[in-house]
């Protein structure tokens, strides 16, 4: 009996920690918004010193950072000063692998409010985003330029985590032309072109996104162009490869079929489609794709997909899967041909 009570107590403690998980996200957003990690870049500081330089209340900030230190974000020493940790380093602006803009993006009402209505999404089978903001996610962003710019930067931060892995994994033939459909600020296309000096590319996205591209570097000069358009309607014609990176997961099956139809109409004989998304593995083991899947459900009415679900949706869109290439990141490459 004592052992059973001990097990129940331990499980209760673990479950209670899960219950408070949203505090972790809010805490990370708070210190990121205040640039705490950047303030610590030159050395450890006390919470009072940090409070003076960030405008935050020192005693409250100490409690917040003490909590984050339990997750290896910051470290408190015996003198009560806080230090950067390797994890906290990634909250700094402009460092390799920085997720600063991604955390700022995820801390906006854009995500918080729909997440708070998760129960309604699961009840109705549709995101509550439209009811909260009066429009779907991407049309709403078009009406909010500053928020849209933050989203573009935040999405680019996530993209940097896997763009190089994707570029290094897929063997693009010499002289091929690639269209990055819905390519955002062009992080993946930049990695592909840098890894393949004979390949040329087109960045294709909404007109409001194109000006924030990352392609204007000397090593890529003369090998890329940018084109604005609506991937529900049309795509640039006649390329060798069409990339859909983190696109299909934003949309329902019905909307994905509209995108696939547009891409298929732009392809020539021999063209290939490369879908770059997580592929959900079977089983109960933790996997980031399962977390992102719920986020897509909450905010977009989108979804991550299993290999079988990719095969099915691509077949309905007029494609056949040739192979699935895992990378050393979260992403896989689903290579498809016109059926």
The tens digit of pLDDT for each residue in 143-200 reads 999 999 999 999 989 888 899 999 999 999 999 999 999 999 999 999 999 999 999 9
Is 249 one of the annotated active-site residues of the chain? yes
User: What is the β-pairing status of strands 200-205 and 177-181?
Assistant: parallel
pLDDT by residue (tens digit) across 100-141? Answer: 999 999 999 999 999 999 999 999 999 999 999 999 999 999
Q: Could you count the other beta carbons within 10 Å of the beta carbon of residue 339?
A: 11
Catalytic residue (one of 60, 119, 126, 249) = 249
Is 70 exceeded by the pLDDT of residue 2?
Answer: no
Is 90 exceeded by the pLDDT of residue 6?
Answer: no
pLDDT of residue 198: 97
Structural tokens at position 304: 């991550």
Q: Provide the pLDDT confidence category of residue 17 given band limits of 50, 70 and 90.
A: confident
Please check whether residue 325 is in contact with residue 332, taking contact to mean a CB–CB distance below 8 angstroms.
yes
By residue count, the chain amounts to: 339
In angstroms, the CA 186 to CA 55 distance is 36
Domains and CATH numbers, the chain: 2-94 (1.10.10.10), 157-338 (3.40.50.150)
């Amino acid at each position: 009996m004592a052992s059973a009570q001990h097990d129940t107590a331990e499980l209760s403690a673990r479950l209670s920690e899960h219950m408070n998980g949203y505090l972790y996200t809010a805490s990370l957003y708070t210190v990121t918004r205040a640039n705490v990690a950047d303030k610590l870049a030159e050395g450890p500081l006390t919470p009072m010193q940090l409070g003076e330089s960030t405008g935050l209340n020192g005693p409250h900030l100490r409690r917040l950072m003490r909590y984050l230190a339990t997750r290896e974000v910051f470290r408190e020493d015996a003198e009560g000063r806080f230090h950067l940790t390797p994890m906290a380093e990634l909250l700094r602006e402009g460092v390799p692998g920085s997720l600063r803009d991604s955390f700022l993006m995820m801390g906006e009402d854009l995500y918080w409010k729909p997440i708070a209505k998760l129960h309604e999404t699961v009840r109705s089978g549709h995101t509550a985003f439209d009811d909260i903001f009066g429009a779907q996610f991407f049309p709403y962003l078009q009406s909010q330029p500053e928020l849209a710019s933050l989203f573009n930067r935040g999405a680019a931060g996530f993209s940097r985590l896997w763009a190089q892995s994707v570029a290094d994994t897929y063997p693009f033939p010499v002289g091929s032309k690639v269209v990055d459909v819905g390519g955002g600020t062009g992080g993946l296309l930049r990695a592909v072109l840098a890894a393949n000096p004979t390949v040329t590319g087109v960045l294709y996205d909404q007109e409001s996104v194109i000006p924030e591209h990352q392609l204007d570097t000397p090593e890529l000069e003369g090998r890329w162009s940018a084109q604005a358009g609506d991937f529900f309607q049309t795509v640039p014609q006649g390329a060798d490869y069409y990339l859909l990176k983190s696109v299909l997961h934003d949309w329902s099956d019905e909307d994905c079929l509209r995108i696939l139809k547009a891409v298929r109409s732009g392809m020539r004989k021999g063209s290939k489609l490369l879908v770059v998304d997580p592929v959900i593995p079977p089983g109960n083991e933790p996997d980031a794709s399962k977390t992102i899947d719920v986020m897509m459900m909450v905010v977009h009415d989108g979804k991550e997909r299993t290999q079988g679900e990719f095969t099915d949706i691509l077949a309905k869109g007029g494609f056949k899967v040739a192979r699935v290439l895992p990378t050393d990141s979260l992403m896989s490459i689903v290579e498809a041909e016109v059926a």
